[in-house]
Amino acid sequence: MEETMKDYEKELEASFRKISEGDVISGTVIDVNEEEVTLDLKYYTQGIIKAEDMSNDPGFSVLADVHVGDVIEATVVRMDDGQGNILLSKKEATAVLAWDVLTKYMEEKTDINVKVGETVNAGVVAYVEGIRGFIPASQLALSYVENTEEYMGKKLTVRVITVDREKEKLVLSAKEILREQAKEEHDHKVAMIVPGTVLEGIVESLQPYGAFVDLKDGLSGLVHISQICERRIKKPSEVLKVGDKVKVKVLNTNDGKISLSIKAATQEQEAEEVESFDTKQFSSDESVGTSLGDIFKKLGL
């Protein structure tokens, strides 16, 4: 009985509810067809949105993108569509509400999934919250994209970087997300390198303070000028040139950066050669003598 009273109270409240043209109201989808979407407005009559009033996005499909149970915000266009229903427009509501949502997306750096629907001069177009957004060719990838046609119909994850409600300007970027992903991948690779490991690389550039060595797999490290050789040098070009193959020892991998030493790798290699030489000197199929004379003889003293 209590539940019946509550239901009655809701119906009574709905009957007193005042809806006017221009209001933005919310409703639940109860039916979808090619021509229109029907909403339950918790009112004495239903709301109707014509398919052409759903979205400005040319890639939008009322049958594919709208489902029973979805909650939609729409603007009241007419209180009676001629059949006793309230005529609504989601396009108009989007124009009112979307810019606030887009501003929030920008402030919170929200990742948004979009589909490229059009290529234009120096970029592509994708819709977010029903608003036409521009993705410049410089923001599609980590480097400038010459042929934007390749992105037609492609799904991208983007962020809002510019919102201008007055000029109806919305600019999106995939580059910022890709840059973060690349840094994360790079830092993971760096973290997998064990300090003390000796690697081989190629000198890719020389700077006054040291040499950058390409370690392959997208990684490079710095050999500080003090770690290039034993003797003191004024500039790396005294002993190195771009393209040289070098062995380097990993000193540390702090903050995603790799510190290397050619000097330490050389010292380690020399120590191994000495050890190898000593082992050969004292290895023989004959029994090893134990007298001092035998040892001095082996050493050539």
- pLDDT given for residue 8 in this prediction: 54
- Average pLDDT (69-75) is 92
At residue 299 the predicted structure's pLDDT band, cuts being 50, 70 and 90, is very low
Give 20's pLDDT tier (boundaries 50, 70, 90): confident
Quick: pLDDT tens for 78-126: 998 888 899 999 988 887 788 999 999 999 999 999 999 899 989 999 9
Instruction: Express each pLDDT in 272-298 by its tens digit.
Output: 666 665 555 545 454 444 444 454 454
pLDDT of residue 292: 42
**Residue 218 pLDDT:** 87
Mean pLDDT of 149-178: 94
* pLDDT at position 148 over 90: yes
Burial class (CB in 10 A: 0-12, 13-18, 19+), 92: middle
**CA Rg value for the chain:** 35
Mean pLDDT lowest among 18-32, 200-214, 232-246: 18-32
Average pLDDT score, the chain: 85
pTM of the model: 0.61
Helix (H) or strand (E) holding 170: strand 169-173
Residues contacting 300, CB < 8 A, separation 6+: none
CA distance 301 to 291: 14
The average pLDDT across 53-65 equals: 87
Bridge partners of residue 144, in order along the sequence: none
Q: Work out the average pLDDT over 259-272.
A: 86
pLDDT > 70: what percent of the chain? 84
